[in-house]
Structure 1
Amino acid sequence: MKSLVTAVLFLFVLTSSNAQNISASEVLNKSIAFHDPQGNWPTFNGELQVTMVTPKRSPRLSVVNIDLPSEKFQLKQSRDSVETRYYLEKGECTTTVTDSLVGKRTPCEMAVFFKDYYTYLYGLPMKLKDPGTIVNPIAERVNFKGKEYLKISVKYDEAVGTDVWQFYFDPKTYAMEVYQFFKGDPEGKGKNTGEYILLKDLKTINNIQFPQAREWYYNKDNTYLGTDKLG
């Protein structure tokens, strides 16, 4: 009788443990199926109009053209009366910017930065399948800002990037609703670095469901930084 009780308890613990654990790959695959059900991202060719609204500054409009099959990227940014353009085609750069910019990047280095920025953030969660992405194999059930999520943690090969990312998915629909990055270990020196981004609503372009709006905040003190809206 004692051995039977022990076996039942072991089975209960095992079952409970399995119920709590879900693989990150399963969460990621289901989220990709939600956002890009027809697998269109690798052949995406379209235009995104993004308005960035930040405190104490006038809005900035970015018209982003991404043509992944042809390796073309074009960005036109305008704020007030100032307009800048960047164009990349298979690594060749053309830009209206003539001066070095923030961080001592050259104008063409900024063009590459913007290409990587827009294709990464609007390519999520599909971009988490890219080479060099190191996904923690187990998804966690967590509470973030009062809502339950499935969270997966991601690092990158050093050649790809050094930030630590966390992605939060609705446990029923698997929609990606929050992401967060840290400049180092979130449990250590990187705890008070980086930002979190709340994703609001959805807009369908080329049969891909993109976030309609992204609200940006500092991790360290929840300071609101701004919102970009997809037109």
Structure 2
Amino acid sequence: MKSFLAFAFFLCALSGFSQNLSSQELLNKAINYHDPNGNWERFNATFTVVMTMPEAAKRTSSISINLPAEYFSVTATKDTVTTTYTLDKGKCQMQYNGKVLDSIAAKEKNMTCDRATLYKNYYSYLYGLPMKLKDPGTNLSETVETKTFKGKTYLVLKVTYDEAVGSDIWYFYFNPKTYAMEIYQFFKTDEHGKAKPDSGEYIVLSEETLLNGIKIPKVRAWYYNKADKYLGTDTLVED
């Protein structure tokens, strides 16, 4: 009985705490945990991400992000094929198995500069979280929620985006003691902007590595929201 009362008291205290903590305060605490010295704006690192999926060959990607120099590059190898997308101050270059491609040859390989920009935005966003939630066009919910996910309690921040940025609804789950980001989740929306319950994915984060003094999740396990179906795992290896 005493243990039950203690647990109930903890939940009540946590609920009250989340109500007193604004969404901006939660985000600031999370950023202070992951990037205490404000290094993201001058991020410059190369790292490797190995992606494993059920019944599929692994994909190894070497990623370079240099924000001050406006430089991005990703070289991905799967089976016998290696592709490279590079954006250097907006100038696009593509390579296939080490050979630089012109626009015609790139199209034949289903490679485009639009895809290069997509990869740049994708990797910069995921590996720049939670700092990227300060970007223009990002809308934080007014309140912080307390949710239990897979038996663990989190402080949760709901995020939407301006129409020009994106239509998905995101939820970020933070450890209530350390403010470390441990899960993020997104849902697709219908024509009325409402979340589709069976859409989207959630990503469970574990372990950490330091890049430029920033605590970045090392392992990301991806699941469909629908039926908790496992998709694959990204494991980050610093070069």
Q: TM-score range, shorter-chain basis?
A: 0.7 to 0.9
Q: Does 1:135 align with 2:140?
A: yes
1:191 to 169, 194, 197: 197
Letter in 2 for 1:179: Y
What are the equivalent positions in structure 2 for 1:31-42 lying under 5 Å apart?
A: 31-42=30-41
Q: 1:218 aligns with which of 211, 214, 224?
A: 224
Matched with 1:169 is 174
Let me know the Cα RMSD of the aligned residues.
1.9
Task: Tell me the secondary structure at the aligned position of residue 179 of structure 2.
Answer: coil
Query: Is 1:94 aligned to residue 93 of structure 2?
Result: yes
Equivalent residue letter for 2:204: L
Q: 2:116 aligns with which of 111, 115, 126?
A: 111
What's the counterpart of residue 5 of structure 1? none
Distance change >3 Å, CA 100–CA 125, structure 1 → 2: farther
1:144-179 Cα shifts (integer Å, max 9, x gaps): 111000000000000011111000000000000000
| Contact kept? 1:52, 1:59, Cα under 8 Å | yes
Poorly superposed stretches of 4+, deviation over 2 Å: 15-20, 99-102
2:184 is matched with: 179
Conservation of the 8 A alpha-carbon contact between 1:100 and 1:107: no
The answer to whether residue 233 in structure 2 is matched with residue 227 in structure 1 is yes
Q: Which letter maps to 1:68?
A: L
The aligned amino acid for 1:212 is K
Taking structure 2 as the reference length, what is the TM-score of the superposition?
A: 0.85
Q: 2:206 aligns with which of 189, 200, 203?
A: 200
CA separation of 1:209 and 1:75: change in aligned 2, threshold 3 A: same
1 CA distance for matches of 2:92 and 2:14? 55
1:101, distance to aligned residue in structure 2 (A): 7.3
Alignment length (residue pairs): 213
Q: Which AA in structure 2 matches 1:133?
A: T
After superposition, the Cα gap between the structure-2 partners of 1:68 and 1:219, relative to the gap in structure 1 and judged at 3 Å, is same
Give, as a single letter, the amino acid of the residue that structure 2 aligns with 1:61: T
Alpha-carbon shift at residue 19 of structure 1 (Å): 3.7
Q: What do residues 193-220 of structure 1 show as CA deviations (whole Å, max 9, x unaligned)?
A: 0000000110011100000100000001
Q: Deviations over 1:36-63 (max 9, x none)?
A: 0110001001112100000111110000
Distance (whole Å) between structure 1 residues aligned to residue 53 and residue 83 of structure 2: 19
What percent of counterpart residues are identical? 49
Q: Contact conserved, 2:23 with 2:140, CA < 8 A, in 1?
A: yes
Give me the TM-score of the superposition, normalised by structure 1: 0.88
Question: AA paired with 2:95?
Answer: T
2:107 aligned partner, one-letter code: D
Letter in 1 for 2:133: L
Q: Where does the alignment leave 5 or more consecutive residues of structure 2 unmatched?
A: 1-12, 97-105
